[in-house]
């Protein structure tokens, strides 16, 4: 298998490292700064005999090198700075993403594209439209990241082992994300039965602000270890054709009463991309949160 990663920044390079060291695939690391991509790819290859994998990595700025890629991961673009919302990134990253999408369509033959660039849901829509690929083959990585963050918040709040937390975050990858408390569990029990309303409200608040919290700590750039892990999980589901249900940004065509936007929802992921969007029995409040998230994305699409 061959996976191309567009963007050799922290997320892209760490994603390339996870994919290589897992033994899943060969990797092309592409960046407008060719020397950056080559330097990181060569550094990754220097580690190959130490880790013990037989995969290859190349760094490049030439889109012709992504030919025959079954999967393309898009991480290119500007990262958030402290105090900057994901929405403020829109105008900065839109032109970059449109150019990336056109080049992917030109040089890769009907690949599956995973978008990571923020604002995630809008950028995924842009890649879908500019690439001309079926929406089932273009989706975004965010729900896995936000759900993983919520797992940590639950674990710390309830002082339970992290492995016992099982949560689900829907909606946007931004201020209108929708943690689904009704679908979240701790130690196999419904979260709503194990925490007070005050605790639940605190869990939701901390989950929503988790990304900004990490940005504030870093001072420059944004999270990359956890986002790259989310990408890895999705790539593995595609390569192994697991059909496992993962939260990701999918094109909505009436599911949950929402149409014509990309939004974070649970979906079965396999070798052809999104096999099916899974509709869960959400509460009325959670459905309203999804509608609010959808309205937010529609407004950003108008700006796009």
d(CA 300, CA 173): 13
Question: 147 and 226 in contact (C-beta within 8 Å)?
Answer: no
Rounded CA gap, 69 and 281, in Å? Answer: 37
C-alpha to C-alpha distance for 87 and 82, rounded to whole angstroms = 13
SS3 content of the chain, % helix, strand, coil (to 5): 50, 20, 30
Q: How far apart are CA 88 and CA 118, in angstroms?
A: 10
Question: What SS3 state is found at 83?
Answer: coil
CB 294 within 8 A of CB 258: yes
C-alpha to C-alpha distance for 290 and 218, rounded to whole angstroms: 30
SS3 85: coil
**Active-site hit among 53, 107, 128, 173:** 173
Q: What is the dihedral of CA 222, 228, 233, 239, to 10 degrees?
A: 140
Cα-trace Rg, the chain:
19
Q: Is 53 a catalytic residue?
A: no
Q: At 71, is the secondary structure helix, strand, or coil?
A: strand
Distance, CA of 93 to CA of 288 (rounded, Å): 29
Comparing C-alpha atoms, which of 96, 11, 12 is closest to residue 57?
12
Which residues are known catalytic residues?
A: 173
């Amino acid at each position: 298998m061959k996976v191309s990663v567009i963007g050799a920044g922290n997320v892209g390079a760490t994603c390339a490292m996870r994919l290589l060291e897992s033994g899943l695939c060969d990797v092309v690391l592409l960046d407008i700064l060719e020397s950056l991509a080559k330097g990181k790819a060569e550094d990754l290859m220097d580690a190959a005999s130490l880790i013990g994998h037989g995969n290859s990595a190349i760094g490049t700025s030439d889109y012709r090198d992504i030919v025959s890629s079954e999967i393309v991961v898009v991480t290119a673009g500007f990262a958030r700075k402290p105090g900057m919302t994901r929405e403020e990134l829109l105008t900065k990253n839109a032109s970059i993403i449109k150019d990336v999408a056109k080049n992917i369509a030109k040089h890769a033959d009907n690949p599956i594209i995973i978008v990571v660039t923020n604002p995630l849901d809008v950028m995924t829509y842009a890649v879908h439209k500019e690439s001309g690929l079926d929406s089932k083959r273009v989706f975004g990585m965010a729900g896995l990241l936000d759900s993983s963050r919520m797992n940590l918040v639950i674990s710390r709040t309830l002082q339970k082992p992290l492995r016992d937390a099982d949560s689900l975050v829907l909606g946007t990858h931004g201020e209108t994300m929708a943690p689904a408390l009704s679908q979240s569990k701790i130690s196999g029990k419904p979260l709503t039965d194990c925490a007070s309303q005050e605790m639940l409200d605190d869990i939701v608040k901390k989950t929503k602000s988790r990304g900004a919290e990490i940005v504030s700590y870093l001072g420059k750039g944004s999270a990359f270890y956890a986002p790259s892990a989310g990408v890895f999980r999705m790539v593995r589901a595609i390569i192994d054709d697991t059909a496992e249900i993962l939260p990701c940004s999918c094109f909505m065509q009436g599911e949950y009463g929402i149409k014509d936007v990309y939004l974070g929802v649970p979906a079965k992921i396999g070798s052809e991309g999104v096999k099916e969007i899974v509709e869960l029995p959400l509460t009325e409040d959670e459905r309203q949160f999804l509608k609010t998230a959808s309205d937010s994305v529609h407004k950003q699409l108008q700006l796009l």
